[in-house]
């Protein structure tokens, strides 16, 4: 492989924006690098490289990240810190709830969570 082709694979500005957004989403969900990395079946070192924009994020990983955080893929590309900092507290609280729910692997626990949430919402 020529040197020119290798340089084309380096992270670009979009990778840094995605990384910053992933870091913010992870922090909002109160997850450590290791916890999120385990959920995504990657090493915490690889996740750290994504978050710092050192490595490019594949389409498949973008899909997995969006699915995990329950956000549209295009949100991972939104304007960096400025746009995400404008999110409301309500949106952040919803994301935290989604993160807890999405990490649950027990149907009975999920059903109990749904029952509690319905009771709290008055439905």
> How far is residue 112's CA from residue 123's CA, in Å, rounded to a whole number?
15
Per residue in 83-110, pLDDT (tens digit) is 444 556 677 777 788 888 888 889 999 9
With CA atoms as reference, report the closest residue to 69 among 36, 106, 109: 36
Q: Contact, 72 vs 66, CB < 8 A?
A: yes
With 0-12 CB in 10 A as exposed, 13-18 as middle and 19+ as buried, what is 99?
buried
Q: Which CATH number fits domain 3-121: 1.10.260.40, 3.40.190.10, 3.10.129.10, 3.40.980.10?
A: 1.10.260.40
CB atoms within 10 A of CB 26: 21
pTM: 0.63
Tokens 């989403």 -> residue: 25
- The ranges of the chain with pLDDT < 50 are 1-7, 81, 83-85
């Amino acid at each position: 492989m020529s040197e020119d082709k290798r340089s084309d694979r380096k992270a670009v500005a979009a990778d840094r924006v995605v990384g910053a957004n992933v870091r913010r989403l992870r922090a909002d969900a109160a997850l450590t690098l290791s916890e999120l990395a385990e959920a995504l079946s990657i090493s915490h070192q690889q996740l750290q490289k994504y978050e710092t924009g050192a490595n490019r994020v594949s389409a498949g990983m973008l899909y997995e990240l969006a699915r995990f955080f329950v956000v549209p893929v295009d949100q991972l590309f939104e304007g960096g810190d400025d746009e995400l900092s404008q999110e409301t507290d309500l949106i952040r609280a919803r994301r935290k709830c989604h993160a807890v729910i999405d990490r649950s692997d027990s149907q009975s626990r999920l059903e109990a969570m749904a029952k509690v949430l319905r009771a709290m919402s008055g439905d």
